[in-house]
Amino acid sequence: MSRIVIGQFMPGNSILHRFDPRAKLLFVFLFFFLIFFVNNISTYLVIYLFVFFCIGLSQIRIRLFLGSIKPVLFIIIFTSILHLVMTKGGTILLTTPFFTVYEEGVRQAAFISSRFLILVVMASLLTFTTSSLDLTDALEQLMGPLRKIRVPVHELALMMSIALRFIPTLWEETEKIKNAQLARGANLESGNIFKRLTAYIPIFIPLFLSSFRRAEELAMAMEARAYRGGIGRTKFRLLEYKRKDYMLIVIFLLLVIGIGWLRS
């Protein structure tokens, strides 16, 4: 039984928590692009330093970041191994009958896994320090211009916030139903893939049913309060850029200059 959901908001009052969510979202978005221009040891060092600095600022325990890396660890290891054995170039470090490890392979493996790690940690920093409500608000406003080309921005944001809101609920519900069927002797742990999938049917069906029921109840509750979409709707919580949010632009520009100068 685990209640921690990956990327769950960790309430706090650090400077990272207090940035405007739109500014944070934009920053992380642009940062992701920047990562792809990082191509040598000194630039990776700069980025690593920056990321660790941010983790420090967030006042969130390192262990939680490890938790969010865990699910992608397999992919990271897998691609690293691929690079180790496939990439040629530079001096030979190791020869075996099956494969040869070149210097360039080690470099590539280290860079690629660093890139993955940094992406995951930055994304976690964003979701750890921003409540899902703020995040969807930010997304809705940043995507606002897309409304001109008839993208249903408000509806999308609403869907996203509802989905985020119900993840823990759904999780709890799954645990409950799973326990109930386990108590009826369900065997979820042994047998081949097909057997295991069929063993999960008694869990999925009640889960679907209760999700539909929940969705219907929610829709009714919203209609009962005369909800009718985004048109002419005013916001209860207004987002407002402050001076420190403009600081993010400066920080980003500094990063761009630093990396542009150090990259090879």
The structure tokens 């690079």 sit at: 83
Pull the structure tokens for residue 261: 């100068």
CB under 5 to 8 A by kind: which of other proteins, ligand ATP, none does 93 bind? none
Question: Could you tell me if 132 and 161 are in contact, meaning their C-beta atoms sit under 8 angstroms apart?
Answer: yes
Long-range contacts of 226-232 (CB under 8 A, 24+ apart): 229/154, 229/155, 230/153, 230/154, 230/155, 230/158
Q: Which of the stretches 27-35, 130-138, 173-181, 216-224 binds other proteins when contact is defined by CB under 8 A?
A: 173-181
- 3-class DSSP state for residue 102? strand
Assess 205 for contact with other proteins (CB under 8 A): yes
- In whole angstroms, what is the distance from residue 58 CA to residue 125 CA? 8
Pull the structure tokens for residue 243: 């001076």
Which among 147, 168, 163, 164 is positioned nearest to 233, based on CA atoms? 147
Shortest Cβ 201–other proteins spacing (Å): 7
Taking CB positions, which residue lies at the least distance from ligand ATP? 1
Shortest Cβ 179–ligand ATP spacing (Å): 10
**Residues with Cβ < 8 Å from 47, sequence gap 6 or more?**
35, 38, 114, 118, 259
Q: Which of the stretches 93-101, 109-117, 206-214, 231-239 binds other proteins when contact is defined by CB under 8 A?
A: 206-214
- Cβ nearer to ligand ATP, comparing 1 with 183: 1
Question: Could you tell me if 154 and 141 are in contact, meaning their C-beta atoms sit under 8 angstroms apart?
Answer: no
Shortest Cβ 185–other proteins spacing (Å): 3
Shortest Cβ 4–ligand ATP spacing (Å): 9
Shortest Cβ 1–other proteins spacing (Å): 7
Assess 231 for contact with ligand ATP (CB under 6 A): no
Shortest Cβ 171–ligand ATP spacing (Å): 9
Assess 1 for contact with ligand ATP (CB under 6 A): yes
CA atoms within a 13 Å half-sphere pointing along the CA-CB vector of 164: 19
Which of 138, 177, 255, 259 binds other proteins (CB under 8 A)? It is: 177
Which of 154, 176, 214, 263 binds other proteins (CB under 8 A)? It is: 176
Chain positions contacting other proteins, by CB under 8 A: 1-4, 61, 64, 176-177, 179-187, 201-203, 205-206, 209-210
Give the interface with ligand ATP as residue ranges (CB under 6 A).
Answer: 1, 3
